Amino acid sequence: MSASDKTRGGWAPLVLTVAVACALTACKKDDAAAAGQQAAQQAKPAPTPESVVAASVSAMSVDQLRDAANKAYNDNRLYAPAGDNAMEYYLALRDKQPGDAGASSALSDLLPMTVIATEQSIARDDIEEASRLLALIGKADGNHPALGRLKASIASGEAKLKQQADTQKLTAEEEAKRKADLVKQREEDQRKQQEQQRQQQAADQQRQQQAAADAEAERQRQAAAEQQRQQQAAEQQRQQQAAQQQAARPRPAAPSTELRPIAQPGPKYPAAAQRAGATATVQVEFTVGTDGAVSSARVVSSDGPRQFQREFEREALAAVKRWRFQPVGQATTSRRTIAFEQ
């Protein structure tokens, strides 16, 4: 073996050893970087009601906050992403103008959806997002009844994740993919909640419109009934006045066959015919006894809608039988045409 071959043979193990050492060092650096990243994420302080609104949002003017809040709501950014959502804009607006009714009303509408989003985040082990949403709820309403329950659930979720982290180490790439999936799920949950709210609002509006229509129909019905009552009262008063005037006239010295009415109450308008707007005329023949009372009556002819003909005739006969006349020397038969007009 030549000297050069011996030299090469001696260097080969050394080179291999150095390469293996470098590879191990690189792997340790990657592990250290991943561990450092996880430690930094764990060390990041959880949002609080005092810090949950981004500084950039708090620095905006009242008009800017109002415009940004409306746009975020319409764009389905109800409570996420952090720093650009309707909840933060309205909270900052309320801080600047505590008496703003619009901000208070919007927060009342957004709170139930934020509570649901917090529960969904806990269910999918998105504890970081759940903690941020919990801080939003706490700032919007420090006495909200769900705060205690959600805090306990988040603490339980954190303990669960810590236990999983101790038994299963995720690479930086796997962790990034997990967080990207969580972001997608958050956006989908927001979209579904917004759609459900819109459907509910549409259903509520339809019910309100129907209730208003029913109330208006009932008002019109009552107004028509009152008008009919007033008309009947006026007609009755007119007939009474006519009867009184007739009674005040001096009676002839000797009875005669001339029929002089004392009372002629009008017929009752059939309700169904009146609603239908039907009119009619009925000719009645009747006989007046010597005492002035109608002793008999019959329908000679009638003119009106066929479906209401019997009702018109019945009411005409009933009215004629109630008529009263001054006493006559002998029974007298006469005819009258009774009109039913609206």
Which of the pair, 165 or 36, is modelled with greater confidence? 165
Cα separation, 332 vs 256, whole angstroms: 10
Give me the chain's average pLDDT, please.
85
Q: Are 186 and 298 members of one domain?
A: no
Other beta carbons within 10 Å of 100: 18
Same domain, 193 and 268: no
Q: Which band of pLDDT confidence, cut at 50, 70 and 90, is reported for residue 5?
A: very low
Verify that 93 and 171 share a domain, yes or no.
yes
What is the edge-to-edge ordering of all strands in the sheet holding 332-340? Answer: 294-303, 280-288, 332-340
| Shared-domain flag, residues 197 and 94 | yes
- Report the C-alpha gap between 253 and 337 in whole angstroms: 30
Is 114 domain-assigned?
yes
pLDDT band at 302 (very low <50, low <70, confident <90, very high): very high
Q: Is the pLDDT of residue 29 over 70?
A: no
Q: Where does a domain end: 207, 223, 246?
A: 207
Among candidate residues 147, 173, 207, the one where a domain is terminated: 207
Residues 85 and 177 in one domain: yes
Residue 293: strand pairing partners? 324
Q: Provide the number of structural domains found in the chain.
A: 2
**Same domain membership, residue 278 and residue 153:** no
Q: Report the alpha-carbon distance of residue 329 to residue 14 in Å, rounded.
A: 156
Within a domain: residue 249?
A: no
Amino acid at 320: V
Whether 220 maps to a domain, the answer reads no
Question: How many angstroms separate the Cα of 278 from the Cα of each of 4, 113, 169?
Answer: 130, 58, 89
Q: Is 139 in a helix, a strand, or coil? A: helix
User: Do the beta carbons of residue 319 and residue 267 sit within 8 Å?
Assistant: yes
Are 57 and 169 in the same domain?
yes
Residue 291 lies in a domain: yes
The span from the CA of 192 to the CA of 204, in Å, is: 18
What is the per-residue pLDDT for 34? 44
For residue range 236-293, what is the model confidence (pLDDT) as tens digits? 898 988 888 887 876 544 557 789 999 999 999 999 999 999 999 999 999 999 999 9
Q: What is the pLDDT of residue 229?
A: 87
Q: Identify the residue with better confidence: 182 or 307.
A: 307
Q: Is residue 332 one of the residues assigned to a domain? A: yes
Cα–Cα separations (whole angstroms), residue 31 to 27, 37, 164, 174: 6, 10, 18, 13
> At residue 97, does pLDDT exceed 80?
yes
Q: Supply the pTM of this predicted model.
A: 0.44
Q: What is the pLDDT of residue 259?
A: 92
Distance CA 211, CA 160 (A): 51
- What does the alpha-carbon distance between residue 299 and residue 337 come to, in Å, rounded to a whole number? 10
Does 299 share its domain with 196? no
Distance set, CA 27 to CA 62, 116, 130, 166, 171 (Å): 52, 42, 34, 20, 12
Domain that holds residue 186: 26-207
Q: How far apart are CA 304 and CA 313, in angstroms?
A: 10
CATH number of the domain enclosing 272: 3.30.2420.10
pLDDT of 20 strictly over 90: no
Question: What's the pLDDT band for 153 if we cut at 50, 70, 90?
Answer: very high
Name residue 282's beta-bridge partners.
302, 338
Question: Which CA distances in Å does 245 have to 3, 237, 290, 308?
Answer: 158, 12, 21, 34
65 with 198, same domain: the answer is yes
Are residues 276 and 199 located together in one domain of the fold? Answer: no
Half-sphere exposure of 51 (CA within 13 A, CB side): 7
Q: Is the pLDDT of residue 147 over 80?
A: yes
Task: Tell me which of 145, 173, 207 is where a domain ends.
Answer: 207
Instruction: Clarify whether residues 199 and 303 are in a common domain.
Output: no
pLDDT of residue 215: 86
- Asked if residue 142 has pLDDT above 80, the reply is yes
- Domain annotation covers residue 200: yes
Q: Is residue 136 part of a domain?
A: yes
Per mean pLDDT, which range of 3-12, 38-47, 133-142 is the poorest? 3-12
- Please indicate, yes or no, whether residues 64 and 129 belong to a single structural domain of this protein: yes
User: Biggest alpha carbon distance in the chain?
Assistant: 176
Nearest to 96 by CA among 62, 51, 66: 62
In a domain, 63, yes or no: yes
